[in-house]
Amino acid sequence: MVDGTTGGEGLLFLTDEQLRKGIEAMFFAYRGFTADPDRILEGMDYGRAHHRAIHFIHRSPGTTVSNLLSILGVTKQSLNRVLRSLVEDGLVESRVGKQDKRERHLYLTAKGAELERALSDAQRARMRAAYRAAGPAAVQGFRTVLEAMMDPELRRQYQGLRDGNA
Amino acid sequence: MVDGTTGGEGLLFLTDEQLRKGIEAMFFAYRGFTADPDRILEGMDYGRAHHRAIHFIHRSPGTTVSNLLSILGVTKQSLNRVLRSLVEDGLVESRVGKQDKRERHLYLTAKGAELERALSDAQRARMRAAYRAAGPAAVQGFRTVLEAMMDPELRRQYQGLRDGNA
DNA sequence: AATTTACGTCAGCCTTGTTGACTTTCCAAG
DNA sequence: CTTGGAAAGTCAACAAGGCTGACGTAAATT
């Protein structure tokens, strides 16, 4: 049924050893992936959690807190702590919803956008170098495998740019 | 061959939007990547840090503490806390080096190997499903891009199975 | 003999996650 | 109009897992 035993050529890319290499590749690559933003953030009062919030507010300006909660997959208390400091420091603006005044819509301020740019420039530079070194076909495969690795719910978050706002 | 600046069609895979998608793909995929082991570990007294130690001890039986330190990229105090609990709980054995008695060589016990298997079975199952869904060519690209994304030093760790031991 | 290396440990701090309890605001259904 | 409940915010307490600094010990190296 799941086969794996197709006789013949035999799916070498599915051996335990190949899978282990894939696992370690994810581990080491993720370190590289976060290294540059981490370096920028260290010293400032911020960490990765702030980076993530800034990233997704940038991607979806006007997103609500609960929207962000479901994307980031943390508790509101945890997110709130991060958001509060960003708002206090004037990087993020929180506007009361017009239609539903319970909701808060989040936007980067000019200052917030500036930090976002610094962070994503660094991260994109690494990604660009990796893409360039690997070539378009490899990039295609990279994206395909990553997508298949996501939880279905997260895959929807990833694909769906639908963030409603209001 | 890999061209680069072929004018004309113009490297669509290097646009900022493509790079942003790649960044988010890493973010969401990594969540999936760690989800299954995290589920197994929750409830036990262990976390991701224990998983990582167990993984690399399994990969390189007899590896030393400082070896592990350089692979994991944490401080010895941090690693020691993890290692101590694993040794106390009888998952890891720490043997004094024969040649150099300052060194401690780390091995999984039967019990440790059992947990390792549970964790890596879960992680491999997801990886296998992703690989199978994506196909061999995509897997090749996936590995190529991840490798290009690593810091050079980590890439050496990743590639070099040389862990000496003693 | 002196120094360096490998390891362990104590103490304290930070970030970022968690629960639980509680309040305020406000939409929407009865 | 009243009320139930969703959305958001807040306080408090806690844990995991990073970090630094300081110190100790045994063994190897110089």
**How far does A45 lie from chain B, in Å, by closest CA?**
21
Alpha carbon separation from B108 to A42, B92, B94, B115, B131 (Å, rounded): 36, 4, 9, 10, 28
Contacts of B46 (CB under 8 A, 6+ apart): B85
Residue A99: band (very low, low, confident or very high) from pLDDT cuts 50, 70, 90: confident
Residue B1 belongs to a domain: no
Is the distance from CB of B124 to CB of B89 less than 8 angstroms?
no
Partners of residue A30 in chain B, C-beta under 8 Å = 26, 30
Residue numbers of A between 23 and 52 with CB closer than 8 Å to B: 23-33, 35, 52
Residue B161: band (very low, low, confident or very high) from pLDDT cuts 50, 70, 90: low
Residue A66 belongs to a domain: yes
Partners of residue A15 in chain B, C-beta under 8 Å = none
CATH number for position A146: 1.10.10.10
Residue B2 belongs to a domain: no
Domain that holds residue B112: 20-159
Residue A8 belongs to a domain: no
Residue A41 belongs to a domain: yes
The pLDDT value given to residue B54: 98
Is the distance from CB of A134 to CB of B144 less than 8 angstroms?
yes
Does A28 sit within 8 Å of B157, measured CB to CB? yes
CB pairs under 8 A between A and B: 191
d(CA B138, CA B25): 15
Tell me: the pLDDT tens digits for A13-44?
899 999 999 999 999 999 999 999 999 998 88
Residue A166 belongs to a domain: no
d(CA B124, CA B120): 6
Residue A161: band (very low, low, confident or very high) from pLDDT cuts 50, 70, 90: low
Residue B44 belongs to a domain: yes
d(CA A106, CA A103): 10
Residue B25 belongs to a domain: yes
Smallest CA-to-CA distance from B118 within B19, B51, B73 is with B51
Q: Residue A4 pLDDT more than 80?
A: no
Structural domains in chain A (count): 1
